[in-house]
Structures are given as structure tokens and as C-alpha cells.
Amino acid sequence: MFMIFSLHRPDVLPVNDLGVRKGVQLLYSLEDLPMPPQMKQLCEKWKSYRSTGAWYMWRFVEWKGTPTTSATIAGERNELRGQVGWRLWW
């Protein structure tokens, strides 16, 4: 968190953070929370902007919580995929 929010590093992926893991689980419709090696693999496409991706995962979990329908999940997942990596929040 220090590297992301204080040092403003753009490419930090907190693979052990529960909020980020839960967001990735929701985004990719996984049955279980992804483990750190799986997180690295799934988030490789965010390279150079993984801090932004982590921030979006925190907001996604905060905003959505646990999704209820698969149609809602699919629409929000596609919307988030288009946004991750394109905007920095600082």
C-alpha cells in the first residue's frame, strides 16, 4: 500500500490483498479466491498499470459486493476490463 499510495508506483500488484483477490474473483467469475501465482498470471495483461488494476478491484468489491446474477456480472466485467490500465487516479 505504501508503494502504491505514497510512492505512486504504477506497477504494484498486491497478490495477497484480500480485496484485490476478491475483485479478481468477481471480475473473472472464479469459484474460489485466486492464489498468488494465479493472480500474477491473470493480472499479467495489466502490466505497467497493475496499481491501477488493484485500485479498480478494491472499488469493484466495495461498489458491488457479492454479485447476484451472471448477466450482471458479465456486463460489469466487460466494463471493468475496458477501464483497467487506461486511467491513473493520482
Helix 70-83 × helix 50-64 angle, to 10° = 150
Distance CA(34)–CA(88), nearest Å, equals: 25
Rg of the chain's alpha carbons, rounded to an integer?
A: 12
- Catalytic choice (10, 11, 17, 59): 17
Q: What was the pLDDT predicted at 86?
A: 47
The ranges assigned to domains in the chain are 2-83
CATH, domain range 2-83 = 1.10.1670
Checking if the pLDDT of 78 tops 80, the result is no
Task: Please state the pTM of the whole predicted model.
Answer: 0.68
Q: What is the pLDDT of residues 2-31, one digit of tens each?
A: 898 889 999 999 999 999 999 999 999 999
Residue among 68, 69, 59 nearest 23 (CA): 59
Cell numbers standing for residue 11? 506497477
Does residue 32 have an active-site annotation?
Answer: no
